Amino acid sequence: MKLWKHLLIGFVTLMTCTAAVAKSVELDNVAVVVNNGVILQSDINNAMNRIKANASKNGKTLPKTSVLRDQIVDQLIMEKLQEQEADRIGVKIDDSRLDAAINDIAKRQSLTKAQLISSVQKEGISYADFRAEIRKEMKISEARNALVRRRVNIIPAEVDNMAKLLEEKSDATVRYNISHIQLRYNEDNKAAMIAKAKKIIEQLKHGKDFSQLAMTYSKGPKALKGGDWGWMRKEEMPTIFADHITDEKKGDIIGPFVSGAGIHILKVDDVKGLPNVSVTEVKARHILIKPSIILSDDGAKKELNNFIKQIQSGQAKFGDLAEQYSQDPGSASQKGDLGYQTVDNFVPEFKHKVEELPIGKISKPFKTVHGWHIVEVMARRNVDKTDAAMKNKAYQILFKRKFNEEASTWLKELRASAYIEKMKDNSSDS
């Protein structure tokens, strides 16, 4: 092991040792070294406790502790690698964005913020730890979106072909609720792993719980969620899923089948049709300022706030400022006008702003992966299945499919290029 790895472990151990002497608490060991970071035993224990509490609450049976620990360690390693990528590209989640996200969580659960905090604390998690976890998830999500989006390439012909296919479909578009088990293999153990997959299918046919088997055996991205991918149209699924689903019904098991990523088993948990829905399009304009070595985040915000004052006082027009100062070349040439678009075309923070803004209102400065923005919603309209709306829908389907595929490849590459060393596990199985 490189010298700096020893120094890193020694430093963390020294710090936890000092804390143990000062506060008479149990020593917190380094469990895994991940590049220039570490995963502590307490990180694993906390995740273990949360999963056990959630399983108990929902009546789920978990695999034995050693198997569950391996799954947790695997997930924590992937989280650490993504968090390191977020730090590398400079992703930061300030308190205002974090508070907005927590308020959204409370709203989705029909709770006040105080009720959400109480609920979290009843599960044995401090509000400070909860905030830290949400901040980490936001950092990871933002980094993944920024780094994977640039890998997605969609050509106009693909959009046209997908739009034609959508037009040919009946109004009752089918959606599938899918669960997934993925086994890793290499050329030396491929036959043995296929045989193992077949044994898992036999267990499923005899009534074994899919989610428990996924948590025990799966190395897929949804393993610790029992393999649950949720509801998807075929067009939104990873291609390897869509290619193996034809006219399956609720409860059907598909597989095993092999791809470059592993050996797969699918279960169709449910199937239903989708009603036709009109599309709401938003016409908006924005000004983008990108922070740099010269211009800080605070500087970018200050500049945008100054633009707002100029517009509101009548000293300048939004379009003129966008044309002169916006660093989005595509819209700057159109005086900041983004045209009519469905909100799903925007990154999450931008989407949230244009959804909540009244027409004619200019937002306060806000940050996305692209930089700092102010945005004004100029108009909204409802559109039925016009050609433009169908192409927007086709683009989103293609993007989601390719994004999922590229995200899986990106994660695989991250792990393959990382330095990972697991320390000796002194914890006991139960």
pLDDT confidence of residue 257:
93
| Strand ranges, E, within 25-144 | 30-34, 37-40
The larger pLDDT score, comparing residue 274 to residue 413, is at: 413
Residue 52: the pLDDT is 86
CA distance 264 to 182: 5
- Per-residue pLDDT at 125: 83
Q: Is residue 387 predicted with pLDDT exceeding 90?
A: no
Token output for 384: 């039925």
pLDDT tens digits, one per residue of 288-320: 999 988 999 999 999 999 999 999 999 999 999
CA pseudo-torsion sign 332, 334, 335, 338: negative
Please give the Cα distance from 13 to 1 (Å, whole number): 17
pLDDT of 115 strictly over 60: yes
pLDDT in tens, 164-182: 787 666 434 678 999 999 9
| Tokens of residue 250, six digits | 């609720």
Q: Say what the pLDDT of residue 247 is.
A: 67
What is the structure's pLDDT at 240? 87
Distance (Å, whole) CA 326 – CA 380? 23
Which residue, among 79, 64, 99, has the nearest Cα to 144 in the 3D structure? Answer: 79
CA nearest neighbour of 62 among 199, 214, 206: 214
For residue 379, list its beta bridge partners. 283
Stated pTM of the model = 0.52
Tell me the pLDDT tens digit for each residue of 195-225.
999 999 999 999 899 999 999 999 998 999 9
pLDDT given at position 168: 66
**Under 8 Å between Cβ of 317 and 378:** no
- Out of 14-23, 272-281, 387-396, least confident range: 14-23
pLDDT in tens, 239-278: 888 888 876 788 899 989 998 889 999 999 998 864 445 6
Residue 18, pLDDT score:
39
Domains plus CATH for the chain? Answer: 1-66 (1.10.4030.10), 171-275 (3.10.50.40), 279-383 (3.10.50.40)
Tell me what pLDDT residue 169 has. 65
What integer pLDDT is reported at residue 384 of this predicted model? 61
User: In this predicted model, what pLDDT tens digit does every residue of 315-374 receive, in sequence order?
Assistant: 999 999 999 999 998 899 999 999 998 888 898 889 989 999 999 999 999 999 899 999
Percent with pLDDT over 70 in the chain: 88
